[in-house]
Amino acid sequence: MSDFFNVDLFLKFAIALAALLNPLLGVPVFLKMTNGYPPAEKRKVAHVVGVTIFVACIVILLIGEEILAFFGISIPGFQITGGVVIFGLGLSLIQSDDSEPASDQAAPAEDRPRRNIAVVPMAIPIMLGPGAITTIIVFTQLMNDTSELVTMVPVVLLISVMVWLGLLFADVISRTLGDTVINIVTRIMGLILAAVAVEMLVAGVVAFAKLHFPALVAGG
């Protein structure tokens, strides 16, 4: 069973992706961008965002290796770079300003074409940004075979559904939890994300050293 299902890899992938695609982070952005939208239009945007995130994640899972090969990027090199990028994102979540949440960076809905906000920029890159894309590609490279890749699909599906539900009930969540709770969750997710990034970075450095300086590693 352990050969088919890598529990450690599965959990790390789930935690990292959940932290990056945390629905609570998208709620204030969604509410600001859909300000003034009729309820039916808000629901439609939430549906499209959920589907877009799922499809995009699956595509990245399937061709992540080809993307790296096309650009001639080594797995350790991408792990190191990805670890740095994801750590930076985690740190930004930890240090986020209570008085100016991420939603304040988005323009009001009136300034954006309604038909365009679901896929771009709400789904990509606001929810599924560079950090999430990097995480998926890095974990794709850590998978040993197709069976491990298959185990990641339920994670992507579950998190996509969570994002969809979070946006679908964004008004209720915002009223119920309030800014304070959302800010606390944001910081906790940032801390978890930073920890995962450190492990990713260390693994990349070790792999890079083994690849380019085998004698030095063996001697140590």
Give the dihedral of Cα atoms 176, 29, 197, 11; nearest 10 deg. 50
Is the distance from CB of 160 to CB of 173 less than 8 angstroms?
A: no
In this prediction the pTM is: 0.72
HEC per residue, 103-120: HHHCCCHHHCCHHHCHHH
Percent of the chain beyond pLDDT 90?
A: 26
Mean pLDDT value across residues 13-40: 86
Given pLDDT bands bounded at 50, 70 and 90, which one contains residue 81? confident
Higher-confidence position of 65 and 12: 12
Supply the mean pLDDT for the chain.
82
In degrees, to the nearest 5, what angle opens at C-alpha 95 toward C-alphas 93 and 96? 65
Higher-confidence position of 101 and 40: 40
pLDDT value for 96 = 72
Closest to 163 in 3D by CA, of 135, 122, 202, 216 = 122
Mean pLDDT value across residues 102-125: 62
Structure tokens belonging to residue 218: 């063996």
Helix-strand-coil percent breakdown of the chain, rounded to 5? 85, 0, 15
Top-ranked range on mean pLDDT: pick from 17-21, 52-56, 143-147, 203-207: 52-56
Given pLDDT bands bounded at 50, 70 and 90, which one contains residue 23? confident
Read off the DSSP letter of residue 103: G
pLDDT value for 91 = 87
Mean pLDDT value across residues 67-72: 83
Q: Which residues contact 72 (CB under 8 A, 6 or more apart)?
A: none
Residue with tokens 């090969």: 69
Strands (DSSP E) found in the chain:
none
Cα 53 to Cα 55: distance, rounded to the nearest angstrom: 6
Residues in the chain: 220
Instruction: Examine the pLDDT at 46 and tell me if it is beyond 60.
Output: yes
pLDDT value for 54 = 98
> 95 vs 21, 22, 42, 100, 138, CA distance in Å?
18, 16, 30, 11, 25
pLDDT value for 39 = 93
Instruction: Examine the pLDDT at 89 and tell me if it is beyond 80.
Output: no
Please count the other Cβ atoms lying within 10 Å of the Cβ belonging to residue 87.
Answer: 19
pLDDT digits 0-9 by tens, 114-151: 556 899 888 987 788 777 888 898 888 788 778 888 88
Instruction: Examine the pLDDT at 208 and tell me if it is beyond 80.
Output: yes
Instruction: Examine the pLDDT at 188 and tell me if it is beyond 90.
Output: no
In degrees, to the nearest 5, what angle opens at C-alpha 43 toward C-alphas 41 and 46? 110
